[in-house]
């Protein structure tokens, strides 16, 4: 059939459609319930065979206009019209009016029958195509739900390790996930829950697939966005040629945190007094160049306002995978979303994905405790904080013993803890700390003296500074309430 050839589909997908149109044109009837159910079945069969909905609708509409001239009712109307044409061309004797009147009546009847047939055919075609589309959509929805259920089951088993390894490898391969190669797990947490099927989740999956060599796995779990991304090493990406006249440490950072750290470093250099000897400057430059790409020193600041920020946050750089940079750009563009990304170590195998998920989820949780919104943190950057949390009881005892005397201050412990944050973040430079807090140097110095008097720990003393800074870190980690209670 020509209609099937034009749409490149099998003619069997039409079923009894042509016979139904002929019957509707003759009698003007509507499609029966059995006929509508049959067309729904044809739509389901088309969906299961992989046919597109556009081609399926084109098949039915093309068959409709092609069969129209050959329908019995239409052919009978055409014959009547041709007979009337011949009769009207014959001469009429004078006084004989019955023949012309009969011809005019037959002509009106033929037009009326043609209109009735056209209306019945269009109505039958509309009902049939609607039933076919309904069956097609039902089959596609059922298939999508089945695949989503299988995918959800795979994600649960993969992240919890409750299924056999061989079965998980086979099931993951069906979704394009090759767990034999190293994979990195990213966990995105925010001020609102991430849900499957939402625009942000779909956009994240699309971006990661665009920037990955193989298909990633993107899903939600407990309100978190979980991304299992194939690791892109030097063998996969190819080594990047060095840029002439630039060192690895001089690359511009792709994240706002690295830019903020550079600005804070310049402020410290300007406020620290005379320049250092050339030898020490060279040693510092060598140390900076030896750090892994995307990391910062612990004393670099990534924020411009007051608050805790000595965490060495992971910031996407030209050496980091492009998938990470694309994901963070999309997260920044989401209105009203306060987010943080935890990154686990790259591992291979089923157990590697499960361990990487636990690492990334723990990193995102710690970043939330430390108030690092809009940051990408690697699990390796949080080892010192994990050490502090190993003995939570001892840490809480230290925080209470060192910081609780600050509650006796007139404005409470909060402003004084913010002062310690800013002072430690800027490397003990009073001028830089005062700028962060929008205070004068004299006011900052007064606060430091007040802290010394209340806690009996001098922030300017190396030994006391370690005690105070550890207490401030612990307060952030355990969620200590400065107001008490």
pLDDT tens per residue, range 160-193: 867 667 677 777 777 777 777 888 899 999 999 9
| Per-residue pLDDT at 295 exceeds 90 | no
pTM value surpassing 0.85: no
- pLDDT attached to residue 168: 76
Confidence of residue 4 (pLDDT cuts 50, 70, 90): low
Confidence of residue 417 (pLDDT cuts 50, 70, 90): very high
Q: Give the N- to C-terminal CA distance of the chain in Å, as an integer.
A: 83
Q: How far apart are CA 182 and CA 421, in angstroms?
A: 38
Instruction: Show the CA angle centred on residue 325, arms to residues 223 and 374, nearest 5°.
Output: 50
- How far is the CA of 21 from the CAs of 33, 39, 77, 119, in angstroms? 15, 13, 16, 11
How does the average pLDDT of the chain come out, rounded?
75
**220 φ/ψ angles, rounded to the nearest 5 degrees:** -115, 150
| Per-residue pLDDT at 280 exceeds 70 | no
Higher model confidence: residue 112 or residue 466?
466
Nearest to 406 by CA among 465, 463, 447: 447
- Concatenated DSSP letters for 115-144? HHHHHHHHHHHHHHHHHHHHHHHHHHHHHH
In this structure, are residues 232 and 226 in contact, taking their beta carbons and an 8 Å threshold? Answer: no
Confidence of residue 232 (pLDDT cuts 50, 70, 90): low
| Per-residue pLDDT at 310 exceeds 60 | no
> Can you say whether residue 315 is alpha, beta or left, with left for phi > 0 and alpha for psi between -120 and 50 degrees?
beta
Confidence of residue 97 (pLDDT cuts 50, 70, 90): very low
- pLDDT attached to residue 348: 86
In this structure, are residues 306 and 436 in contact, taking their beta carbons and an 8 Å threshold? Answer: yes
- How far is the CA of 403 from the CAs of 62, 308, 387, 462, in angstroms? 81, 16, 20, 18
| Per-residue pLDDT at 126 exceeds 60 | yes
| Per-residue pLDDT at 270 exceeds 80 | no
Q: Which of 148-157, 262-271, 383-392, 445-454 ranks highest by mean pLDDT?
A: 445-454
- pLDDT attached to residue 368: 86
- How far is the CA of 221 from the CAs of 152, 155, 196, 201, 355, in angstroms? 9, 9, 9, 12, 15
- pLDDT attached to residue 272: 39
For CA atoms 428, 431, 434, 439, give the dihedral sign: positive
- pLDDT attached to residue 321: 64
- pLDDT attached to residue 381: 84
- pLDDT attached to residue 372: 79
- pLDDT attached to residue 129: 92
Confidence of residue 83 (pLDDT cuts 50, 70, 90): low
Confidence of residue 287 (pLDDT cuts 50, 70, 90): very low
- pLDDT attached to residue 440: 94
Nearest to 126 by CA among 80, 57, 68, 67: 57
- For the record, the structure tokens of 166 come out as 């061989």
| Per-residue pLDDT at 91 exceeds 90 | no
- How far is the CA of 363 from the CAs of 65, 278, 316, 368, in angstroms? 64, 38, 16, 9
- pLDDT attached to residue 300: 41
| Per-residue pLDDT at 252 exceeds 80 | no
Q: How far apart are CA 99 and CA 341, in angstroms?
A: 91
- pLDDT attached to residue 249: 37
What is the crossing angle of helices 33-48 and 98-160, to 10°? 50
Least confident among 13-17, 276-280, 358-362, 405-409: 276-280
- For the record, the structure tokens of 475 come out as 């307060």
3 state DSSP class of 408: helix
Q: How far apart are CA 163 and CA 48, in angstroms?
A: 30
Q: What percent of the chain has pLDDT over 70?
A: 71
Q: Which of 107-111, 276-280, 311-315 ranks highest by mean pLDDT?
A: 107-111
* Burial zone of 218 (CB within 10 Å; 0-12 exposed, 13-18 middle, 19+ buried): buried
Q: How far apart are CA 21 and CA 343, in angstroms?
A: 62
Confidence of residue 288 (pLDDT cuts 50, 70, 90): very low
Q: How far apart are CA 223 and CA 189, in angstroms?
A: 8
Nearest to 186 by CA among 194, 198, 197: 194
- Residues in CB range of 224: below 8 A, 6 or more apart: 187, 188, 189, 194, 361, 364
Higher model confidence: residue 99 or residue 281?
99
Digit-coded pLDDT (tens) for 39-75: 999 998 988 888 888 888 988 888 888 888 888 777 7
Q: How far apart are CA 301 and CA 310, in angstroms?
A: 6
Digit-coded pLDDT (tens) for 448-475: 999 999 999 999 988 899 999 999 988 9
Higher model confidence: residue 179 or residue 402?
402
Confidence of residue 7 (pLDDT cuts 50, 70, 90): low
- pLDDT attached to residue 406: 92
Average pLDDT (244-252) is 37
| Per-residue pLDDT at 429 exceeds 50 | yes
């Amino acid at each position: 059939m020509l209609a099937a050839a034009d749409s490149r589909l099998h003619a069997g997908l039409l079923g009894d459609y042509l016979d139904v149109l002929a019957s509707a044109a003759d009698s003007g009837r509507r499609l029966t319930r059995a006929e509508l159910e049959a067309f729904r079945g044809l739509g389901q069969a088309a969906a299961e065979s992989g046919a597109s909905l556009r081609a399926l609708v084109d098949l039915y509409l093309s068959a409709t206009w092609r069969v129209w001239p050959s329908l019995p009712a239409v052919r009978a109307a055409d014959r009547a019209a041709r007979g009337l044409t011949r009769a009207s061309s014959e001469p009429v004797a004078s006084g004989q009016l019955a023949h012309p009147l009969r011809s005019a009546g037959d002509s009106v009847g033929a037009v009326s029958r043609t209109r009735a047939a056209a209306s019945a055919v269009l109505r039958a075609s509309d009902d049939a195509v609607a039933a076919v589309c309904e069956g097609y959509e039902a089959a596609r929805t059922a298939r999508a739900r089945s695949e989503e259920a299988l995918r959800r089951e795979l994600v649960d088993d993969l992240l919890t390790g409750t299924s056999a390894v061989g079965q998980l490898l086979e099931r993951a391969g069906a979704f394009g996930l090759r767990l034999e190669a190293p994979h990195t797990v990213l966990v995105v947490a925010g001020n609102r829950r991430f849900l499957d099927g939402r625009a942000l989740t779909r956009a994240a999956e699309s971006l990661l697939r665009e920037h990955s060599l193989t298909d990633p796995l993107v899903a939600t779990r407990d309100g978190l966005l979980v991304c299992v991304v194939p690791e892109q090493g030097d063998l996969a990406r190819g080594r990047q040629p060095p840029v002439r006249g630039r060192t690895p440490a001089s690359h511009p950072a792709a994240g706002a945190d690295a830019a903020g750290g550079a600005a804070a470093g310049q402020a410290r250099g300007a406020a620290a007094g005379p320049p250092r000897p050339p030898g020490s400057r060279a040693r510092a430059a060598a140390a900076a160049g030896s750090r892994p790409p995307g990391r910062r020193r612990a004393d670099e600041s990534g924020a411009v306002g007051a608050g805790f920020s000595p965490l060495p946050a992971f910031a996407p750089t030209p050496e980091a995978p492009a998938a990470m940079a694309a994901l963070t750009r999309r997260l920044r563009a989401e209105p009203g979303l306060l987010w943080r990304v935890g990154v686990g170590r790259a591992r291979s195998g089923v157990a590697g994905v499960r361990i990487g998920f636990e690492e990334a989820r723990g990193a995102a949780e710690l970043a939330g405790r430390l108030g690092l919104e809009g940051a990408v943190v690697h699990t390796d950057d949080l080892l010192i904080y994990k050490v502090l949390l190993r003995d939570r009881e001892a840490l809480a005892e230290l925080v209470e013993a060192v910081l609780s005397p600050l509650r006796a201050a007139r404005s409470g412990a909060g402003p004084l803890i913010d002062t310690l944050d800013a002072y430690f973040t800027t490397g003990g430079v009073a001028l830089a700390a005062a700028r962060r807090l929008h205070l004068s140097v004299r006011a900052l110095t007064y606060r430091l003296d007040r802290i010394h008097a209340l806690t009996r720990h001098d922030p300017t003393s190396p030994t006391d500074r370690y005690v105070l800074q550890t207490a401030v870190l612990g307060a952030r980690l355990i969620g200590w309430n400065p107001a008490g209670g």
